[in-house]
Amino acid sequence: MGSIDSMSESTFPSLEDVRAAAARIAPHARVTPVLTNSVLDERAGAELFFKCEHLQVGGAFKFRGACNAVWSLSDVEASRGVVTHSSGNHGTALALAAATRGIPAHIIVPAGAVAAKLANIERAGGIVHRCAPTQAAREAACAQVQRETGATLVHPYADPRVMAGQGTIALELLHQVPDLDTLIVPLGGGGLASGCAVALAALARHVTMLGAEPAGAADAFQSLLRGERVTDIQPHTICDGLRATIGEPNFILLQSHQVEVVTVDDDATLGAMRSLWAELKQTVEPSSAIVLAALLKVGERFAGRRIGMVLTGGNVDLDALPFAK
Amino acid sequence: MGSIDSMSESTFPSLEDVRAAAARIAPHARVTPVLTNSVLDERAGAELFFKCEHLQVGGAFKFRGACNAVWSLSDVEASRGVVTHSSGNHGTALALAAATRGIPAHIIVPAGAVAAKLANIERAGGIVHRCAPTQAAREAACAQVQRETGATLVHPYADPRVMAGQGTIALELLHQVPDLDTLIVPLGGGGLASGCAVALAALARHVTMLGAEPAGAADAFQSLLRGERVTDIQPHTICDGLRATIGEPNFILLQSHQVEVVTVDDDATLGAMRSLWAELKQTVEPSSAIVLAALLKVGERFAGRRIGMVLTGGNVDLDALPFAK
């Protein structure tokens, strides 16, 4: 835990922050339903509880963290707006969250973003700034908007307000499903995993937590293996929501809470996505379906368990369905 | 109402039958969730409450009627099994319902049935008998199974036990959504519309009920227009669940309850299906999506209303998605 001590306390959310986030977002966010399905239960050999964050405002869980960040600002800060860089769901979420407070949201969008997600950002009233698809270009564009407008940066995952907001999913799910013993979440930058880890560690230590990470973007897996944050992996995965590099505070939280990471090939993710469409009847995106693929990969260890599966988003280009046939 | 008097009382379900059905199926069927979506509300200019029967056991509302029929049988009747002819969802539903009582289900399947639905019947343990895709061939095959096994025929819609089971949807929805003022259901053979009409007439007379029927299979629309049942229409529609001819008791119930029928072109249905996938994130079949298309067609009359929309099923061939581009 030495590394936690070396960072500022405000870098990490506490259970109280997660609880405060739940109260702050309650007027704006949805309590999403939990779906079950006997066919998928049989296939997995366990009881699965799908937390439907693709039915959250904006079609993704990201609204929780963005909304908490927007409503954490003082009136003066808020009046100058917010800014972020996001390939999609976080950008939409921040635009929608800003709209609930009537403030501007600047969204830096790298070239190559999924068309459906870009359309969502614009529909939500976000002010789109395009940039080249590199981390450096994103950060430069972001810094420029901050200089020009005084907008507050709301990072997609390495921000304690965002992590606390995402952690409200675990609070809700513990309330909705008695005797949960496992939670599987998709793992990209680590905002969702961090927030949920904090909530579970405080409220339900017996719950095992798994992060599902694309094999082609396994920086969190490598980071935990080596004991230091790996930042030089070039992501190659169809899971466009999980290409981000694990954040520094996120890495530290995952490490200290001993979150296990399961890496998943895209083919397995697409097979799981097909199952979720065909059986659960939910149009989830690949970055969501990876949780089912991860469970099927490690299945036997979790036989008979009661497993929460966070379906994080459903923003898919219907004109370019990536099913493996 | 002269025509109701001329048929046996047991031909039509009463509110008490619907209530008895609700109690009978409760241990086996799901109380399906109701979803809302602000984007679709805005597009329709009304408040929409989507009753998610594609999340019912077997992926379609048909389980309610089939389950009620199966559990209405005496032990002796039940031991001989049940039989039906169905292009899909009712067949699966009857097989699943029979399984809850441990009795055989014989399903007559006409050539050309949707592959996903046929696979569902077999997976549910139904005993499949194939026949030519004509009404005469179905009925002959059905009669033969009845002669050989003594199985009870459970007609997909012209059966009061089935109608009563489908009517439990209206009971549930009235409980889930306060101040509902309109209900839109897909219209094929008329089992769902009949059961819901009975329940609404007894419990919520102020609720306007619309049936959404494919323009290419508009026998109910024509029947109500002419005041007599039209049975010679050759269906041409992508809505494979709505190709059946309106049943005799169903026609009489729709007529006496003054259910309004809206006919919908397949293109409009496919557009609505796309919207339901993209916005509501639900993989519903065309025969479900027709309710949204019907509302958008008659939209202005229903501006500002609180409208229940029954999404009846979600059994789609993912390899043959029929989106109009």
Q: Which domains does chain B have, with CATH numbers?
A: 2-61+159-320 (3.40.50.1100), 62-153 (3.40.50.1100)
Contacts of A323 (CB under 8 A, 6+ apart): A270, A273, A274, B318, B319
CA atoms within 13 A on the CB side of B158: 15
Using CB atoms, pick whichever of A54, A57, A278 lies closest to residue B281: A54
% of chain B beyond a pLDDT of 70: 96
Which residue, B112, B168, B174, B170, is CA-closest to B138? B112
Contacts of residue A325 in chain B, CB cutoff 8 Å? 319
Kindly provide the ipTM of the predicted complex, given to two decimals: 0.89
Contacts of residue A59 in chain B, CB cutoff 8 Å? 281
Environment class of B292 (CB within 10 Å of its CB; exposed 0-12, middle 13-18, buried 19+): buried
Distance separating alpha carbons of residues B316 and A235, to the nearest angstrom = 33
Provide the token pair at A191. 């905002």
Distance separating alpha carbons of residues A241 and A195, to the nearest angstrom = 17
pLDDT at A138 over 60: yes
Which of B34, B277, B280, B281 should we substitute to test contact with A (largest number of A Cβ atoms within 10 Å)? Answer: B281
Using CB atoms, pick whichever of A55, A57, A282 lies closest to residue B283: A282
Q: Are A228 and A252 in contact (CB under 8 A)?
A: no
Distance separating alpha carbons of residues B282 and A98, to the nearest angstrom = 27
Provide the token pair at B132. 């030519």
Helix (H) or strand (E) holding B117: helix B115-123
Strands B105-110 and B34-35: unpaired
Contacts of residue A33 in chain B, CB cutoff 8 Å? 33, 35
Q: What number of residues does chain A have?
A: 325
Instruction: Mark yes or no for CB contact A281/B59 under 8 Å.
Output: yes
Q: Which residue of B has its CA nearest to A35?
A: B55
Strands B82-85 and B47-52: unpaired
Largest CA distance in chain B: 56
Look at residue A50 in the predicted model and tell me its pLDDT.
98
Distance separating alpha carbons of residues B264 and A306, to the nearest angstrom = 44
Distance separating alpha carbons of residues A69 and A165, to the nearest angstrom = 8
Residue B312, helix vs strand vs coil: coil
Calculate how close chain A gets to B1, using CA atoms only, in Å.
41
Provide the token pair at A144. 């420029």
pLDDT at A99 over 90: yes
Provide the token pair at A308. 């929460």
Distance separating alpha carbons of residues A112 and A132, to the nearest angstrom = 9
pLDDT tens for each residue of B213-261: 999 999 999 999 999 999 999 999 999 899 989 999 999 999 999 999 9
Q: Are A239 and A269 in contact (CB under 8 A)?
A: yes
Place of tokens 């970055």: A287
Place of tokens 């519309």: B193
Q: Are A96 and A64 in contact (CB under 8 A)?
A: no
Sheet holding B182-186, edge to edge: B34-35, B47-52, B306-311, B182-186, B208-214, B260-264
Q: Are A108 and A82 in contact (CB under 8 A)?
A: no
Contacts of B270 (CB under 8 A, 6+ apart): B238, B286, B289, B322, B323, B324
% of chain B beyond a pLDDT of 90: 84
pLDDT class of A154 with cuts at 50, 70, 90: very high
pLDDT class of A311 with cuts at 50, 70, 90: very high
At A72, which amino acid appears? S
Can you state the angle between helices B160-176 and B62-72, rounded to 10 degrees? 130
Residue B187, helix vs strand vs coil: coil
Look at residue B118 in the predicted model and tell me its pLDDT.
84
Q: Are A211 and A185 in contact (CB under 8 A)?
A: yes
Look at residue A87 in the predicted model and tell me its pLDDT.
67
Q: Are B324 and B70 in contact (CB under 8 A)?
A: no
Q: Are A254 and A197 in contact (CB under 8 A)?
A: yes
Place of tokens 């986030």: A21
Provide the token pair at A36. 């079950």
pLDDT class of A322 with cuts at 50, 70, 90: low
Which of A283, A284, A316 should we substitute to test contact with B (largest number of B Cβ atoms within 10 Å)? Answer: A283
Which residue, B35, B3, B72, B250, is CA-closest to A282? B35
% of chain A beyond a pLDDT of 90: 84
Q: 3-state SS string over A210-249?
A: EEEEEHHHCHHHHHHHHCCCCCCCCCCCCCHHHCCCCCHH
Residues A218-231: what's their mean pLDDT?
Answer: 96
Q: 3-state SS string over B28-88?
A: CCCCCCEECCHHHHHHHCCEEEEEEHHHCHHHECHHHHHHHHHHHCCHHHHHCCEEEECCC
User: pLDDT: is B317 or A16 the higher one?
Assistant: A16
Contacts of residue B57 in chain A, CB cutoff 8 Å? 38
At A251, which amino acid appears? F
N- to C-terminal Cα separation, chain A: 46
Q: Are A262 and A208 in contact (CB under 8 A)?
A: no
Look at residue B301 in the predicted model and tell me its pLDDT.
92
Looking at every residue in chain B, the average pLDDT score rounds to: 93
Distance separating alpha carbons of residues A313 and A311, to the nearest angstrom = 6
Calculate how close chain A gets to B170, using CA atoms only, in Å.
21
Look at residue A120 in the predicted model and tell me its pLDDT.
85
Which residue, B317, B125, B162, B322, is CA-closest to B237? B322
Cα R_g (chain A), whole angstroms: 18
Q: What number of residues does chain B have?
A: 325
Looking at every residue in chain A, the average pLDDT score rounds to: 93
Look at residue A4 in the predicted model and tell me its pLDDT.
56
Look at residue A227 in the predicted model and tell me its pLDDT.
96
Instruction: Mark yes or no for CB contact B323/A323 under 8 Å.
Output: no
pLDDT at B321 over 90: no
pLDDT class of A1 with cuts at 50, 70, 90: very low
Whole-structure pTM value: 0.91
Residues B135-162: what's their mean pLDDT?
Answer: 94
Q: Which residue of A has its CA nearest to B276?
A: A283
Q: Are B192 and B61 in contact (CB under 8 A)?
A: yes
Contacts of residue B284 in chain A, CB cutoff 8 Å? 281
pLDDT class of B6 with cuts at 50, 70, 90: low
| Top-confidence range, A46-50, A122-126, B111-115, B128-132 | A46-50
Which of B34, B283, B321 should we substitute to test contact with A (largest number of A Cβ atoms within 10 Å)? Answer: B283
Which residue, B148, B82, B85, is CA-closest to B111? B85
pLDDT class of A5 with cuts at 50, 70, 90: low
Using CB atoms, pick whichever of A38, A39, A318 lies closest to residue B323: A318
Using CB atoms, pick whichever of A59, A274, A281 lies closest to residue B282: A281
Place of tokens 């581009």: B325
Instruction: Mark yes or no for CB contact A278/B116 under 8 Å.
Output: yes
Give me the total of CB pairs closer than 8 Å, taking one residue from chain A and one from chain B. Answer: 46
pLDDT class of A325 with cuts at 50, 70, 90: very low
pLDDT tens for each residue of A266-301: 999 999 999 999 999 999 999 999 999 999 999 889
Contacts of residue A283 in chain B, CB cutoff 8 Å? 277-278, 281-283
pLDDT tens for each residue of B81-108: 999 988 678 999 999 999 999 999 999 9
Look at residue B2 in the predicted model and tell me its pLDDT.
40
CA distances from A127 to A83, B184, B293 (A): 9, 38, 32
Strands A34-35 and A47-52: antiparallel
Look at residue A309 in the predicted model and tell me its pLDDT.
98
